[in-house]
Structures are given as C-alpha cells and as structure tokens.
Amino acid sequence: GGEPSGMRRQLKDQKGALDNLDDLDHDEIEYAAFNKAFYAPGHVVSSMSDDEVSSYRKTLNVSCSGFDVPRPLKRFEHAGFHPSLLAAIRKHGYEAPTPIQCQTL
C-alpha cells in the first residue's frame, strides 16, 4: 500500500516547484525591523521547584525529554499573552489550558 497516485503526483509537483526556486542571499535583502518579544517565564512559573514541575507534569499526564525543556504553565495568564487575547480566550469560555497547552504555550 502506498499513497494514492493523485497525492503522489501532487507531492512530486510540489517538490519540483521547490527545486526551481532561486537561491536567496539574505545579506543583500533589507528587512523591516520588528520587535523581538520572546517569552520569558514569569515568577509563578520560574519559581516552581524541579519537584513541583515533575509532580505537576504527572498530574497533567505529560512527559517531556530533551535539553532545557520549558516549565509548564498553570494558567493562560502565565503565557504572557496580550490582555486582548486573554479577554478573547475568556470570552469563548476557556478557563484553563489543556494539559498539552500547559506544557507548550
């Protein structure tokens, strides 16, 4: 069993389109400045001990591996979202993040 012939043809066409792209020299392109506002965990998240993090992940039934895995959130407010996004989340009835959202937001 393989992919349907139509899907195989579509994938081949997409790969061919990528092969025909010109190389870009990003040093020669002037990009507009943008605000780099990367997530930094707040006090509630960063102050959790390793034992607290491990215990919380167990209650969420979430396992993680890798280097420098972020600590899980307990509330949407801990994600650093803009207040208007938090208001929209609440407006749609979401009170708490799902287990996977706790670990990945």
CB contact set of 87 (below 8 Å; sequence gap of 6+) = none
8-41 pLDDT per residue, tens: 777 766 766 677 777 888 888 898 888 877 777 7
What residue has token string 């996977």?
100
Say how far apart CA 53 and CA 47 lie, in whole Å.
Answer: 10
Give 73's DSSP letter: P
pLDDT at 12: 67
> Does position 59 have pLDDT exceeding 90, yes or no?
yes
Q: What is the pLDDT of residue 16?
A: 67
Domain limits, the chain: 27-104
Instruction: Say whether pLDDT at 1 is over 60.
Output: no
4-18, 58-72, 80-94: least confidently modelled range? 4-18
Sign of CA dihedral 98, 75, 53, 66: positive
pTM as predicted: 0.56
88, pLDDT greater than 90:
yes
